[in-house]
Amino acid sequence: MIGKTRKDEVMGSIKGKHGRLGILATVLISFALASCSILPTPKAAPQLYTLSPKSTYKKSMPVVNWQLAVDLPIAPSGLNAPRIAVVRSPLTIDYFAGAQWIDNAPAMVQRLLIESFENSQKIIGVGRLTVSLRADYILRTELREFQAEYYETGKGPPNIFVRVNAKLVKMPQRKIIASATFDRKLPSPNNTKTGIIKTFDRALGKVMRDIVVWTINTPSRSGG
């Protein structure tokens, strides 16, 4: 009887250990499954968009022999981002979901401005503002408007509004010899992202062409 009792105690202990292990395993599996169920689902990457430089100019535009440095445009924080701005009322700003510019808007505009100057073939040298570039003039710009506006069109396609202020600075005096503001507001043909981006491209292209022509002609006109 004593031997049997001892045997029963040993078997009970083994079963107890196995039982506790089984419960622990069940708890761990349940926790793992629960953890998997609360993991966030990855969002789809946004569609990236870029715009094109201006490439057509009047042949009568003069050729200049000075160098130009194009500074990075300044912009309000709402536009200093890769997100595509949407304005639904005069006092609010929003962004398109699932779509972004290929770069921060000011950096993209700087690159396109430089390419637009190069495409004109009217200037001896143009580039970003760096220590190594010995520029005769610096073009400083401010991106003041760069958005799709719905508050004037209701539920219809938006107007695309681009406004850039430009200042031409003579070096090494660092003297502003001219300042001007250029803007375009064009209606998008439809409410699709393709139509809206193409309208951005046309509006910015017209503004950049005006800036290039103004910059090339200003030194001779101002006596600078």
d(CA 143, CA 164): 5
One-letter amino acid at 95 equals Y
Q: What is the pLDDT of residue 45?
A: 87
Task: Give the containing element (helix H, strand E) for 35.
Answer: helix 2-38
Residues, the chain: 224
Residue 43 has pLDDT above 70, yes or no: yes
Q: What is the pLDDT of residue 218?
A: 96
What mean pLDDT value characterizes the chain?
87
Buried b (16+ CB within 10 A) or exposed e, 148-173: bbbeeeeeebbbbbbbbbbebbbeee
Q: Cβ distance 180 to 215 under 8 Å?
A: no
Q: Cβ distance 163 to 147 under 8 Å?
A: no
pTM of the full structure? 0.80
Which homologous superfamily does the CATH classification assign to the domain defined by 47-222? Answer: ABC-type transport auxiliary lipoprotein component (3.40.50.10610)
Residue 10's pLDDT band (boundaries 50, 70, 90)?
very low
Q: What is the pLDDT of residue 145?
A: 98
Least confident of 73-77, 90-94, 104-108, 110-114: 90-94
Domain ranges for the chain: 1-39, 47-222
Percentages helix, strand, coil for the chain (3-state, rounded to 5) are 35, 30, 35
**39 vs 94, residue with greater confidence:** 94
In 3-state terms, what secondary structure has residue 52?
A: coil
159 bridge partner residues: 149, 187
